[in-house]
Amino acid sequence: IKISKLCYFLISCFKISESIDNSKKSKSIYIKNIIDYLEKNYRNENLNVDEISDYLGLSSHYVLKLFKENIGIGLVDYLNMLRINHSIKTLLTSKKSILEIAIDFGFNNSKTYSRTFKKYYNLSPGEYKKTNANSNIILSDIKVNDDFLIKEFIDAYVNKNQLDENLKSKEI
């Protein structure tokens, strides 16, 4: 009887551990899916948390909490950073107005774009453009590197969690 209790206890522990591992895996997958969705849809000015949560089949509250806990910044802040960072090349290389750029990159108006831009760069888009107009920076390289770094960060996060899960499962 003692052996059967021990077996039952060990099986229960394994099931709990397996459940925790699956939960961490699914969280990592959800984070990756959220970021992929944002990358594909950041130009949509109507993009919102409800749309993302519907796409994932999760509650809006859970999506916001999950993102903040795992990435370290809020989903809306991340989306705004993404939009601003993608807009910089256009800002510096085109003759488009601030309003046109704002609309092209998912903002409702130039005021929101300018306020958000200033939040991250401490300059208005116009000031930023003047400051960087004569720079010899290869913008296409920066964009590729920024996108690469964002993807690298997320991939490293997902892979680290998978590695942690594998190590924990072998310890048991």
pLDDT at 146: 52
pLDDT at 28: 86
Crossing angle for the helix pair 75-93 and 2-41, to the nearest 10 degrees:
30
CA–CA gap between residue 171 and residue 152 (Å, rounded): 28
- Provide the percentage of residues in the chain whose pLDDT is more than 70: 63
pLDDT at 96: 95
pLDDT at 80: 95
Q: How confident is the model at residue 132 (pLDDT cuts 50, 70, 90)?
A: confident
Tell me what the mean pLDDT of segment 101-129 comes to: 94
Burial 46-85 (b: 16+ CB within 10 A, else e): ebebeebbeebebeeeebbebbeebbeeebebbbbbbbbb
CA–CA gap between residue 142 and residue 124 (Å, rounded): 20
What pLDDT digit, counting tens, does each position of 152-163 carry? Answer: 545 554 455 555
Looking at per-residue pLDDT, the higher value among 102 and 19 belongs to: 102
Q: Tell me: pLDDT of 111 over 60.
A: yes
pTM of the model: 0.67
CA–CA gap between residue 128 and residue 123 (Å, rounded): 6
3-state secondary structure of 133: coil
Mean pLDDT, rounded, of the chain: 77
What pLDDT digit, counting tens, does each position of 60-95 carry? Answer: 999 999 999 998 899 999 999 999 999 999 999 999
Only one residue has tokens 């970021």, namely 35
Could you tell me if 115 and 109 are in contact, meaning their C-beta atoms sit under 8 angstroms apart? no
Tell me what the mean pLDDT of segment 35-62 comes to: 95
Q: How confident is the model at residue 17 (pLDDT cuts 50, 70, 90)?
A: very low
pLDDT at 95: 92
- Provide the percentage of residues in the chain whose pLDDT is more than 90: 54
Two tokens at 47? 């993009």
